[in-house]
Structure 1
Amino acid sequence: MSLGKNTDGGAGRPAPGRVEDVRRGNLVRILASLAEPRTDPDVRPTRADLASRTGLTKASVSSLVAELVDAGLVAESGAARDGERGRPGVGLELSTCRGVVGMEINVDYISAGLLDLGGTLRIHRTLESGNRGKSPQSVMALLAGLVADVAAEASAAGIEILGGGLAVPGLVDTGSGTVSSAPNLKWHGVVLELHGLLPGAPQGTLLHNEANCAALAELWYGHGVDFQDYLFVSGEVGVGGGLVIGSRLFAGPRGQAGEVGHVVVDPSGPDCSCGGRGCLETFAGQEAIFAEAGIPDGTASARLEQLTALLEAGNAAAISAVSRAGHYLGIAAASTARLMDLSAVVLGGHFTRMGPWIAPAVVRSLADYAPGVVGPASVAISELGQSAALLGAAGSALRSVLAAPQGLRPGP
């Protein structure tokens, strides 16, 4: 739908059946403008600022803002001068009293967190849990308990939850809430009962791929300010990937693009959980790195701590294992960059802990296999850590709220 300026009368007046569509679109424009990053976080836009940014009349903006304040989506935040002359206007911001919940199921943990409409992660809870091979019902029940704790904390803080997003490490069908294939969880064709996670939330809960969520979080809260086109590689038990092109996630026609963990980097390599052979995951997944470094069995967090300690101590086996992973990661990134015309690579997940040791190996590999395509300055380490997928899932829910503001009113 193309949204023009509001018309106040005359020949440009929209047809009666379209007036509500135009108003809905203009509400979205106001919210989108308020959601834009501010150069000075202490200076909030006024109604006059919004009129200038959106091209709407001041009268239209005042009416739209009143509706959004009444809906509890926008809050007035004190006086802010409109210019050199005239009385101060009233600063506006997205409400911090309403929010969305991001959730993640991974192989060895679950997590949930509350993101307010202003984009601040107010609550973040993680629970270690060995989920590989567990029934989806038991994992969802555990997650529901964690989400209930987050919801109770949000309620105590006076924050109303409007919806949520759940990130899972596998191929998903968002429309039906189905995990099509999550080899590391051993889930295939599983329909998740999402409605029980946030009962009563008007926007409900949507299912997303974990790596895509992390790539979006990087776009919104991380290196998206530096790169417009990049491959995001998420290291966990498996290896996931997300493609961002023109500052937009590219998921492909079936939502399965970016599966870099299952790009073949050595046809004679070991068997992979996906049923293939020689996939990147078999060289750069956690198990492959731990085994190569000689780190014994244990919880993933404990083994990662041990690996980090060995790297910092200059242990040759650990450094070799991480360099080997970076070499193959660079091969996969080189192929992806050439195919998709990408100019940057961002490493997230467990790769952030290995950054100083794995990034140089990735740079060398890219120079060997795709010279001049992705330079050293365009290989970046994410700073979002383990919260990336959760932030992306919550951010997607937040944007769904901002894209459909009508009908949302504060709860009792």
Structure 2
Amino acid sequence: MHSTRRAETFPANTPAASQVFTTVLSHGPLTRLEAARRAGLSPAAVTKAVRPLIEAGYLAEDADGEARPTLGRPANPLRVNGDRALFIGAKVTGDEIIGVLTDLCCRVRVSRRVPLSARDTRHVLSAVTALAQDLLTEAQGLGTGVLGLGIAVSGDVDRTAGTVRYSPFLEWYDVPLAELAAATTGLPVTVDNDVRALTVAEQWFGAGVGLSDFAVVTVGAGIGCGLVVHGRVVAGAHGVAGEIGHVTVDPSGPPCHCGNRGCVEAVAGDAAIVRQVRAATGLPVAGTGEALALAHQGVAGAREVYARAGEAIGRGIATVANLLGPERVIISGEGLAAYDLFAEQIRGAFDAAAFGSAARCDVQTRPLPFEQWARGAAATAIQSFITADQRPGR
């Protein structure tokens, strides 16, 4: 990890304190008793955990205006004091960086977008640094310190090492992004896969709140999947858990950039759809917007491309349901612009391929702009901040 020192550390050195804090963050305001029940802890453990958090201003007690008896534990609800700290989140795409400044409750206070004219490490790092400086200036106006920066990048990302192992859209290999960005911004930096970052935000604040097992599937430039199993976002032993974009759905299908054939992404990713619409129509289709327009106009061949894409996505989602049995699958991503063209095929392929009661999985669509992905990056920074003291040797 990088050597940047925090200006401030979270005043909790036990897993219980982090657990209580995240419970109140997602479900609050909560009384101590409610927090204990949700976190699976004793009321005494909760009282012990929240004391330093209240003293340091991270948690606040909402008095109900009436005098409380002094005997027994206070029944006043606990809530996270969102104004106590700020965090920056940045989502890097192939052509722009989307940045947000959030409070401790991950509410977006300011958002920015900056175009990327090149994808090399130096150029992206420079753009991320400029964006962070802009948001740090905004934070000064709010009078609160920024305690971390989260960066979300597509591809194979090792969050523990802070390294982007491979990002196909940026064409990066083994880039120590956390270390580089910490050196240029002066902030503690968390780097994670963009879909996993979005999944953290959905787990804490979105359609996954209260669910112990769910998945987020994103469709667009790539096909991604974030997994929550037994209440934890799963990265896998090598950081690539949930790569349904590279599940083979047609062994004789088109080649994929990963080296295999007929992957979900090779059939249903944006670039694949554009190529297939171009081939099916004989027209010089420039991008997804044009491909989408042709399909909506009913041009022969274009709709069929989207139908096949829907089938591939449906089969990929069924694979997740069969393996993990999630309560819910949330479909998001910029590819949802085409949802009306392949919703029926996604559902049909899912129903056909889901085994037994796996088909009872609640499949939802949730259009989320890239600001929400940047918010996910900020959520990973908050997560790193509140669990930093649990690392071995601390």
Q: Fold match, TM over 0.5?
A: yes
Unaligned runs of 5+ in 2: 1-10
Query: Is 1:396 the counterpart of 2:380 in the alignment?
Result: yes
**RMSD across aligned positions (CA):** 3.6
Query: Partners of 1:225 and 1:50 in 2: how far apart?
Result: 15
1:6-405 equivalences in 2 (<5 Å) = 24=14, 27-28=17-18, 30-38=20-28, 44=29, 55-56=42-43, 61=47, 67-75=52-60, 79-81=63-65, 92-97=78-83, 98-129=85-116, 131=118, 134-192=119-177, 193-196=180-183, 198-199=185-186, 201=187, 204-225=188-209, 228-294=212-278, 303-304=287-288, 318-342=302-326, 344-370=328-354, 372-375=356-359, 378-404=362-388
Larger radius of gyration: 1
1:3 aligned residue:
none
Q: Which amino acid aligns with 2:109?
A: R
The sequence identity of aligned pairs, in percent, is 30
Query: Partners of 2:17 and 2:212 in 1: how far apart?
Result: 27
Query: Partners of 1:375 and 1:146 in 2: how far apart?
Result: 44
Q: Does the C-alpha gap of structure 1 residues 263 and 111 become closer, same or farther in structure 2, counting only changes over 3 Å? A: same
What SS class does the counterpart of residue 226 from structure 2 fall into? strand
Deviation at 1:227, TM superposition (A): 5.1
2:4 aligned residue:
none
What SS class does the counterpart of residue 217 from structure 2 fall into? strand
Q: Does the C-alpha gap of structure 1 residues 120 and 268 become closer, same or farther in structure 2, counting only changes over 3 Å? A: same
What SS class does the counterpart of residue 232 from structure 1 fall into? strand
Asked if the contact 1:215–1:242 (Cα under 8 Å) also holds between the matched residues in 2, the reply is: yes
Query: Partners of 1:368 and 1:265 in 2: how far apart?
Result: 13
Q: Does the C-alpha gap of structure 1 residues 311 and 405 become closer, same or farther in structure 2, counting only changes over 3 Å? A: farther
**Greater RCO, 1 or 2 (C-alpha within 8 Å, sep 6+):** 2
Asked if the contact 2:216–2:331 (Cα under 8 Å) also holds between the matched residues in 1, the reply is: yes
Q: Deviations over 1:12-45 (max 9, x none)?
A: xxxxxxxxx997556445534532423xxxxx45
Q: Which amino acid aligns with 1:213?
A: A
Deviation at 1:263, TM superposition (A): 1.4
Paired residues, number: 369
Deviation at 1:285, TM superposition (A): 0.9
- Which region of structure 1 is more displaced relative to structure 2, 161-170 or 345-354? 345-354
Query: Partners of 1:219 and 1:106 in 2: how far apart?
Result: 22
Query: Partners of 2:195 and 2:307 in 1: how far apart?
Result: 22
Query: Partners of 1:272 and 1:214 in 2: how far apart?
Result: 25
Asked if the contact 1:28–1:403 (Cα under 8 Å) also holds between the matched residues in 2, the reply is: yes
Q: Does the C-alpha gap of structure 1 residues 94 and 329 become closer, same or farther in structure 2, counting only changes over 3 Å? A: same
Asked if the contact 1:263–1:332 (Cα under 8 Å) also holds between the matched residues in 2, the reply is: yes
Q: Deviations over 1:120-152 (max 9, x none)?
A: 122222233355xx2111111111111211121
Query: Partners of 1:125 and 1:170 in 2: how far apart?
Result: 23
Q: Does the C-alpha gap of structure 1 residues 377 and 315 become closer, same or farther in structure 2, counting only changes over 3 Å? A: farther
TM-score scaled by length of structure 2? 0.79
- Which region of structure 1 is more displaced relative to structure 2, 45-54 or 110-119? 45-54
Unaligned runs of 5+ in 1: 1-20, 39-43, 407-412
What SS class does the counterpart of residue 396 from structure 1 fall into? helix
What SS class does the counterpart of residue 354 from structure 1 fall into? helix
Deviation at 1:116, TM superposition (A): 1.1
